[in-house]
Structure 1
Amino acid sequence: MTHDPNGAPAAGVLERLTAALGAEGSRRGPPPVDRWNPDYCGEIPLRIAADGTWHYNGSPITRPALVKLFSTILRRDPDGRTVLVTPVERVGIEVEDTAFLAVEMAVEGKGETRAIAFRTNLDDVVPLDDAHPLRVERDREGGFKPAIAVRHGLWARLTRALAYDLVDLCEEREEAGERWLGLAAGGRFHRLAKATDLDAADLS
């Protein structure tokens, strides 16, 4: 069984985290995890799989409310570690790909004034703007996988179906002497990749 540095079994970690969150229950709005800096207490056997499911000690967490609760205290530290953090404890977890999945996209308007927002598998609603940019990464097969920034250094991978929908909105533009694939929204053009590196089909 995994233990924390104080010798307590890892099985009690989720209970301690839940209790710490309960103490913050009267606070309105999302927890200020960017301002909490308790000591790091080691890793716990919690994993976010690439399909968005959460697992503890090798078993899926079947309580959606619990997963949503813990997702509010997730952040990515400057050293690249993804942690659950409360005012009194900070523990590392495993993330196979991204912490969230983007499962729905809403589009209003056209061209530069178009507004785009994404909903994650845990019901975060994220607008495409300067604070929440898109990025595109290559997968092992050489294809491209888009993701959007959510909060605190965490990202949401677009599902395959949503990636196809995104491709339909993309266009090529020349900027700074180069051709870029991207999309207009929120008053500007969001670059996704150089047109010489990929065509739209690769985004899926």
Structure 2
Amino acid sequence: MCIKIIIICLVLVCFWYYLFLKKKKELKRISVELNISVEQINKICESILQEFKKYDARVICNWGGFDTTETLNVCSRLRFSKRIDIKSTWIKKLLDKKEYWEIAFLHTIGHELGHKDKEPIFSILHTKKGRFRNWVRECRADFYGLQFVQKEYAFTRNEVLKAIELKIDYNAPDEYAKQKSDFIHPNWNLRFQLLSDYRNFNQDAIRYIAKEVGITDEKYIKKMIRTAEL
């Protein structure tokens, strides 16, 4: 038993050290690429952390992640966790000093806060109902983020929509990428159309998603409306 415990501890220590080295290497890479010091990057990350503490969130710059793509992703982890991880690619955009990238970032954080706001539980069932539930979650978070930026940072709805469109064009630079959906996420075109056409995430928006997925079970649709409306 003692040997097993020692082995487990060694594995955990090695894994922690691997992440430490990965983070250090990534920070150095970003520092060289952006021509700023590691200290400056850490200051930016600290300011981000402090900014969102008032919303009971811990927004962390995660340089040890395994997503090596250039997409502007954020991960909110489990609902009960306060932590939200952002990728290094966001630092480049925030250093750009262009207002719309700042708004896009604020909306992205708002989206993740929406995932912690009593949304329907994620479905692991690969059925139409499971897809419908997961698409409702993502679109609801989009609307939550839009309302968050309007309320907390006083940007207009049109300004937020323009910023979201900017992020979409970056993450999905061609029409094929914009039309690509999966079990968890509806395609970008659908998400943006909903934000453009509906002022709130109400029953009309949810019924639109149901139609896109092919859900006709009225009882289930009404259940989703009760649990997901904003």
Greater share of residues in strand: 1
Greater share of residues in helix: 2
Q: TM-score, normalised by structure 1?
A: 0.27
Q: TM-score, normalised by structure 2?
A: 0.25
